[in-house]
Structure 1
């Protein structure tokens, strides 16, 4: 892209001050201290770089699991006390003395595990003594405080509610199904600190093995200019189309969301560029913000990376990454088709054009300029497909990113850039690491008290033997549990507590986990706690609640598709027939089954988009929209007769609407003549 063209397209970009203000309001990762003391800046940089190097080292040189996970979590806690202020309005250019104490306690708890490790695993057999309990209580309180600083109040309060349960779960005033035996401090805090079932559970295990490396990978990609490449490529491909900037938003946000896994950060990063463009061509501010929000959360369901959630799902279920990534393709594409169709029909209805081609880059220019940066992503897919361990694949793609970026001068990373990427990756990981640690408290309590089976039983009972009603209750529970949480801890919580409720209905393991995964993510755009939508409204100047409502409408396909793949698993490319619910390997569905469910779903999603916007080729009246919506829903129901009836309705209305548009155009020509 030439400089002149670039300046034309980016002329309306949102100011960095506004971006910063939105980030600090809705993204707790951005509420950090800013030090004027050079020594403090250097110290934090060194600690961040060492933290990243530690993870690169243990990729090929692992240490005992408990120690590895404790360093990962407790060192991150120490960094949080140095980087994040105690309160939002606190002075941010210096560290109060008590945060130095909290930093030392975090590192001390890690050191304690190292010193006592042999006694804990061999002599004491995991049974805590008095000092163990004191250190464990201290570690739990510290992780709750760090979570409050980096994620807000919701997650620590949820963890405290769960943590309180084993203290009174033996009381007679509780419902019988919720009662347990009596637990003492040793039972509770030994579970949380001395075993890999609490703070250092599989959530932290996945974080240390997979999540951190992919966050670091994203930091290196960002430093190489990948974000600008995605924006430029999306502009070149779709910027000149009807409603082009909205389609650019969907495409670029999908790519970036798949890599970075943070809905709010993705909204702000790409929305600062795309939202002004959408408003400039005529999209209303609430709609423009909603497009960015719905596209940004969708990136986390898009293979190959899926915001690192695919690797967590693989760790949790035992299903291979390759199976999960392949299964996620069709539902993700249907979701984005639903969003793009609505922005396309809205543009047609309101007469919104794209950006003039002379103001846009050309695809060839973009690919020649930065196309080489996509090589690491292609290599990642190839390495994972070859069966290489996920951590090793992530390590080598980080190395490859540095090598590939060096091909062109303007993408080449200097030694200073590499150090910055190491530090930035460490900082970006902190909120996820801490959230996974707090989720470990919930997992630890659930495992200790068997509360998960109690909740599963409650959901199943409320479902009254109806699969649909149980799915609906599971959806509500997933959205509530996912409110205000990053997508990864939201998935881990819902997978632990809610997904097992579907087992009684024979729903396959992969399908159940995909179902709760989708709705845990969509909590980010579902009012009243719709952080992604609220952040987008902060950039667009729209109403947060209206933006959230429009986001839900744009994402409607995403709320329907999970039900579809429960009833028609061929959408996930699998055939679970005759296999046990907890199977981790599936035969692939037949090509006719896959084509049937895909084609009918595509037509149904397009029909829903046209019905919601009241436009296909020309306007539709209310009755036509209602009939079209009914036909589209029939297409989505996975039955032959419903597909035939729904298909006839949708195609018939589309044909009628097209003919009506032709008549209107001919009449307009006659009037002009």
Structure 2
């Protein structure tokens, strides 16, 4: 396969499906009784997860199964991994060798070890005894082998390196900067296998509780036919425009990426149709593959799933799921808008032809798309009103009433769909491409929106847990898969209703199998990443990473962020989205927070996690390991390395955005009201389009170099108006540290004071600085306000000494990095109060005026080139 890609041969449909299977669901598919057994195990796993997420789980399942659900989850995954993934390329595909049976069964036993011997482990306080440690070590080795098969060597190698560091990190040959005291085999295995600090930690818990249901939801929705419907709708809306296939690829990939946990599957699923059409209108093989890569990988940053990272952020950051997707929404949306614009500019630069013979009405298309999304958002938001009416009318039966109402709406939409033919996938290589007409096809799949509306309603309106929300949406998909075929048959007056029903049962079973097999890699990734997280908590290597980045950056904040981004790219190479987020956030998130505070930048934790997440997923794009780029090259027949570099260029806005929202958290809608949020959205959209025009060298016509530079500068000002305003009017005024109590007393509620705290580092004894922000929230004088924050200060000459905050007070964790018991005291070295400053939004006026000037100049030049009088 590698030789074929190197020669530029596009892979066949069968080879592409094998590529996806090899990376996502397992390349081995034995026939006969063994194949049926594996299918049954996959179905049982899916049904177990559905029951586990249901409101009746406590009634249906025994308590010990619920308490040990992580072990059961991993047992299913590791068993299917050894069954479905061959050990080597030369290993058999059509039967399972005896050694894989042995590995699978023993690995399943080790995964269930904590469940089987739960009482013994609890009686030992969670510590492993001499027997436990050997089973735990065997379990880790088998987990690494399963991860190697399912995820490739990168994950297993990284985990092995970290585990080796646990055992050998105390050796003399390890550099002093990263050396630690070491751990015995028993202690390490206790930490990694028999407690919830390692393999069976937060990441695997999130995979068990939330991720499986969303992956299953996506598999069932695709099996129902929604994927083909979304692609056809995208082509119907955009395919007739200049560069239309590429624009439709972006929108279609966005729709599938919403529910997909795999950028590779996204590339192959939508790319087999979109890439040939892009090549037909003038995109090169590499460009067509790059557009698909950029749009598919972007699907991982788009809420609500975000490649499962959204659920992990809930646990790691400690905020609600609704807050996570609210903060992630704006950067993801403007990133997709920019990608559509990139495609448009490429088409205009190359004067690409349009597909089909339909009249092109760009404004009508844009209005139509925004109207669709507006109506869909309105339906999601408006769904709460009939629920409230039902609760007021029949409080005890509101759930039943709404269930009947949803079923009634579904049946009505299905009757609507039965009046038009079922949608069949188009052949992108056909001699004559006939683009779908929206008004002829939209009826065929409106009912696919119902499960998505149910999901959004429970997530956003009811604010139920992600697992329960996905359960109700999945339950509706069960109904749809079982009934859509027979009901359509009845509505059309056909006589094969029984066969149609059996076809629906087959679709449901196939969807359950696909959901389970798609989860194998994610479950193993989260379990294996638990070893890395466990190593960080056991050894404190995270502090070493902070020291390394600080040393390499020389204390420069921008350079530090660039280094963190590069390290995130390196750590994410070859890893799936979920795994690379766990790895890079475990190692890098704390680095950004700590070093940012030392440089006077207070960064919200969610901004840091999104920063490392964005760079982690860019590893799917970036050569030499970009998995999505290799998959796209396999579809297009282009060169994989060139595809990766072009895709990286197309993804520059995904690289630039994290730097912007680290410094301007308005882009994450943090502490932003509705009115300001709308303004931020409009300005950020203009900024990302201007940045795109600047980097592409084309705005209204081909840009001159100084115009491109000016456009990028305007984009920067629109993204960072605070930077410009701070140069005009300083945001803070300095106050003598000994006047801190007086400044706190004079401050109005809602204001903030910034303190620079200096003192000896707890680990090294070297003096360091960190910045903290004191919110003024309580009434009283300065001393009372400081006491409410758990801070105790005492003046000594011109210095202000700070006592160690009591545990549990707001700043006890922040101050834990200082040693308060050395001769060198911890002091408040600087105090800054908020100064009166003009609104930073005023900066938008000259920036937009300058943009209008460039537009005027380019418009005049374009008209002159066209021979039109100015």
Give the TM-score normalised by the residue count of structure 2. Answer: 0.71
**Secondary structure of the structure 1 residue equivalent to 2:354:** coil
Partner of 2:201: 201
What is the CA distance between 1:357 and its match in structure 2?
Answer: 5.3
Check 1:431–1:17 CA distance in 2 against 1; reply closer, same or farther (3 A cut). Answer: same
Deviations 1:470-509 (A, max 9, x none): 2112111111111111111111111111001122222111
Give the distance between the partners of 1:164 and 1:14, measured in 2 at CA.
Answer: 40
Deviation of residue 389 (structure 1)? 1.8
Provide closer, same or farther for how the CA distance between residues 230 and 78 of structure 1 changes in structure 2, counting only shifts above 3 A: same
Deviation at 1:373, TM superposition (A): 0.2
In the alignment, what sits opposite 1:372? 447
* Preserved contact between residue 289 and residue 635 of structure 2 (Cα < 8 Å): yes
Q: Using a 3 Å threshold, how does the CA distance of structure 1 residues 282 and 111 change in structure 2: closer, same or farther?
A: closer
Cα distance in 2, alignment partners of residues 85 and 171 from structure 1: 37
Size of the alignment, in residue pairs? 640
Aligned equivalent of 1:487: 577
Q: CA deviation at 1:15?
A: 4.5
1:582 corresponds to? none
CA distance change for structure 1 residues 328 and 339 in 2, over 3 Å: closer, same or farther?
Answer: same
TM-superposed CA distance for 1:131, in Å, is 1.2
Residue 594 and residue 393 in structure 1: after superposition, are their counterparts in 2 closer, same or farther (change >3 A)? Answer: closer
Distance 1:73 1:163 in 2: 19
Of structures 1 and 2, the larger Rg is shown by: 2
In structure 2, relative to structure 1, the CA distance for the partners of 1:397 and 1:562 (3 Å cut) is same
Which SS does the other structure have where 1:222 is aligned? helix
* CA–CA separation in structure 1 for the residues paired with 2:665 and 2:305: 22
> How far apart are 1:66 and its partner, in Å?
6.1
Over 3 Å counting, the alpha-carbon distance change for 1:427 and 1:343 in structure 2 is same
CA distances 1:112-132 after superposition (whole Å, capped 9, x unpaired): 3333101111x2111211110
1:519-544 CA deviation, whole Å, 9 max, x = no partner?
11111111221111121112112111
Q: Determine the structure 2 residue equivalent to 1:49.
A: 43
Deviation at 1:643, TM superposition (A): 4.7
Alpha carbons 1:200, 1:437 under 8 Å: kept: yes
Residues in 2 aligned to 1:56 and 1:592: alpha-carbon distance in whole angstroms? 40
The answer for the alignment partner of 1:93 in structure 2 is 94
Q: Aligned in 2, Cα 1:465/1:41: closer, same or farther, shift over 3 Å?
A: same
In structure 2, stretches of 5+ residues that fail to align are 1-9, 359-433, 490-499, 726-842
Are 1:655 and 2:856 matched, yes or no? Answer: yes
Q: Which residue of 2 aligns with 1:625?
A: 708
1:261 deviation in Å?
A: 1.7
Match of 2:488 among 406, 409, 426: 409
Q: Measure, in 2, the Cα distance between the counterparts of 1:267 and 1:111.
A: 36
* Residue 613 of structure 2: aligned partner: 517
Q: 1:58 aligns with which of 31, 49, 52?
A: 52
Alignment partner, residue 593 of structure 2: 503
Shift of 1:625: 3.0
Q: Which residue of 1 aligns with 2:153?
A: 153
Please state if 1:362 is matched with 2:356: no
Deviation at 1:614, TM superposition (A): 2.7
Distance 1:72 1:22, change over 3 A: closer
Q: Give, in whole Å, the separation in 2 of the partners of 1:239 and 1:167.
A: 58
Give matches, 1:14-93, under 5 Å: 15-20=12-17, 22-23=19-20, 28-29=23-24, 31-36=26-31, 38-60=32-54, 61=57, 63-64=63-64, 67-93=68-94
Q: Is 1:141 aligned to 2:141, yes or no?
A: yes
SS at match of 2:721: coil
Superposition map of 1:514-663 within 5 A: 514-575=610-671, 589-591=672-674, 593-595=676-678, 597-639=680-722, 640=724, 643=844, 646-663=847-864
In the TM superposition, what are the counterparts of 1:456-467 in structure 2 within 5 Å?
A: 456-467=546-557
Corresponding residue of 1:192: 192
Partner in structure 1 of residue 470 of structure 2: 394
1:67 to partner: Cα distance: 2.1
Q: Which has the higher helix share?
A: 1
Equivalent residue runs for 1:448-463 within 5 Å: 448-463=538-553
Q: Is the 8 A contact 1:632 1:650 kept in 2?
A: no
Q: Is residue 235–residue 435 contact of structure 2 (8 Å, CA) maintained in 1?
A: yes
Going from structure 1 to structure 2, the CA distance change for 1:29 and 1:592 (only over 3 Å counts) comes to: closer
Q: Per-residue CA shift, 1:203-240, capped at 9, x if unaligned?
A: 10010001111111111101100100110110111111
Classify 1:193/1:66 alpha carbon distance in 2 versus 1 (closer, same or farther; 3 Å).
farther
How far, CA to CA, are the matches of 2:640 and 2:718 in structure 1? 33
Aligned mates of 1:32, 1:14 — CA distance in 2: 16
SS in 2 for 1:617: coil
Cα contact 2:717–2:847 (8 A) shared by 1: yes
Identify if the C-alpha distance between structure 1 residues 323 and 350 changes in structure 2 by more than 3 Å, giving closer, same or farther.
Answer: same
Contact 1:523 1:530 in 2 (8 A): yes
What does 1:254-293 align with in structure 2 at a 5 Å threshold? 254-293=254-293
The answer (yes or no) to whether the contact 2:224–2:480 under 8 Å persists in 1 is no
Distance in 1 (CA, whole Å) between partners of 2:647 and 2:865 is 32
> 2-side partners of 1:439 and 1:156: how far apart?
9
Higher alpha-carbon deviation: 553-562 or 592-601: 592-601
Cα distance change on mapping 1:617 and 1:305 into 2, 3 Å: same
The separation in 2 between residues aligned to 1:353 and 1:637, in whole angstroms, is 38
CA contact (8 A) 1:380 1:393 kept: yes
Change (3 A) 1:143 1:524: same
Instruction: Tell me the distance in 2 between the aligned counterparts of 1:631 and 1:548.
Output: 28
Q: Is the 8 A contact 1:31 1:88 kept in 2?
A: no
Structure 1 residue ranges without an equivalent (≥5): 1-12, 576-588
Question: What is the CA distance between 1:177 and its match in structure 2?
Answer: 4.0
Q: 1:291-347 CA distances to partner (integer Å, 9 max, x unpaired)?
A: 000000111111223233211211222211111111112101111122111110111
1:170–1:180 contact (8 Å) kept in structure 2: yes
Structure 1's 14 and 550: CA in aligned 2 closer, same or farther, altered over 3 A?
A: same
Q: Structure 1, residues 363-412: CA drift from partner, whole Å, max 9, x if none?
A: 23332101110111111111012121211111110111233453563898
SS in 1 for 2:670: coil
Over the aligned positions, Cα root-mean-square deviation in angstroms equals 2.3
Displacement of 1:22: 4.5
In the TM superposition, residue 469 of structure 1 has moved relative to its aligned partner by: 2.1
Distance in 1 (CA, whole Å) between partners of 2:52 and 2:488 is 32
CA contact 2:261–2:308 (8 Å) conserved in 1: yes
Q: Give me the whole-angstrom Cα distance separating, in 2, the residues matched to 1:204 and 1:73.
A: 8
SS across alignment from 2:199: coil
Q: Mean alpha-carbon deviation: is it higher for 70-79 or for 305-314? A: 305-314
More strand by share: 2
Matched, 1:432 2:633: no
Structure 1 residues 115 and 625: CA distance shift in structure 2, 3 A? closer
Aligned to 1:337: 337
Q: Identify the range of structure 1 (90-99 vs 151-160) with the bigger mean alpha-carbon deviation.
A: 90-99
Task: Give distance in 1, aligned partners of 2:451 and 2:650.
Answer: 32
Q: Is the 8 A contact 2:542 2:591 kept in 1?
A: no
**In 2, Cα distance between the equivalents of 1:115 and 1:22?**
37
SS in 2 for 1:171: coil
